[in-house]
Amino acid sequence: MTKLAANLTMLFSELPFLDRFEAAARAGFTGVEFLFPYAYEPAALRERLERYRLQLVLHNLPAGDWDAGERGIACHPDRVHEFRAGVDDAIRYATALGVKQVNCLAGIRPPTVAPAEAREALVANLRHAADKLGRHGIRLLVEPINTFDIPGFFLSGTQQALDILRDTGSDNVYLQYDIYHMQRMEGELAATIRRHIDRIAHVQLADNPGRHEPGTGEINYRFLFGLLDDIGYDGWIGCEYKPRDGTAAGLGWRAAHGLR
C-alpha cells in the first residue's frame, strides 16, 4: 500500500518551518521528510513529530554550505574530515528523532578534482558512513540527481550509483530513487524500478516538466503507483515537488491517483 510522506522543505513553504508539521498532519500525511534538521534542536523537532503523530522518514547528511550553492561534499577528497563529522551529526539527530534512514548527496565535483579521484573519495566516504550508521540501526541512502537542475552533480544515473554502492562492499547502503530526477536523466522508469527494487529503499516523486505535483506533466504516476504495489515496495514515497498553485490547492492529485 502506497505511503506518502510530505517533503516539508518544498511543501507548505509559505509557512515557518516548524509550523509545517501541523499543516502536513491536517492535510492527511502521516509521514514527513526534509532536507536537513540541523538548524533546529532535536527536542523542538521531536516535539512537533509527537504532537502531530508524524513519522520522520528521512533527512540528509550535512551537505556543505547549501546557501552558497554546495550540494554535498561526499565526492570532495579534501573534505573527508568534514564529511565524517557530518555523519556523527546525522546520527545524533536520527537517533533522537527515530529516523531509520538518511540520504547522502554526493555533491558537485570540483573542477580541480579528476573524476576517478572524486569517485574514490565518494566510495570511501560511503563505506565509512554506512558502517557507522549501521551500528545505530540506520540505513544509508544515495541519490542520483539530474544535471539539468544541478549542473556538475557527480552522481546522475542509476547504474552509476549501483556500481558505487557495490564498490563500497557494504550491505548497508541503498538507492534513493527520485522519479523526477531519473525521468530527466534516463527514462525507462518502470523497467529500472522493477529491475532494482531490491536495492531501492526510498522513492521520491515530482512530475516533469516543472517539478510540480503528479498529474501536471508527462509521467504516468497512476501506472507507477500500481507497479510499486505490484512488485511489493513497502517503503515511503516522498512528495518532493514544487506545488504549482500552492500546496493545499494541489493536493487533489492524491485522490485523482487513487490515493488517500
Question: Quick one: pLDDT at residue 2?
Answer: 85
Question: Quick one: pLDDT at residue 36?
Answer: 98
Shortest CA distance to 201 belongs to which of 171, 234, 227, 168?
A: 234
Question: Quick one: pLDDT at residue 45?
Answer: 98
Residue found under cell 525507462: 188
- Residue pair 204/228 in contact (Cβ under 8 Å)? The answer is no
* 143 tagged catalytic: yes
- Here the cell at position 27 is 492535510
Residue found under cell 555533491: 107
**Averaged pLDDT in 10-residue chunks for the chain of 260 residues:** 94 97 97 98 98 98 96 98 98 98 98 98 98 98 98 98 98 98 98 98 98 98 97 97 94 91
Enumerate domains of the chain plus CATH numbers.
Answer: 3-256 (3.20.20.150)
Q: Considering 14, 186, 218, 240, which one is annotated as catalytic?
A: 240
Q: Considering 143, 188, 213, 218, which one is annotated as catalytic?
A: 143
- Here the cell at position 182 is 531519473
Question: Quick one: pLDDT at residue 60?
Answer: 98
What is d(CA 166, CA 143) in angstroms, rounded to the nearest whole number? 14
- Here the cell at position 245 is 498553485
Tell if the pTM clears 0.85, that is, is over it: yes
Question: Quick one: pLDDT at residue 141?
Answer: 98
* 70 tagged catalytic: no
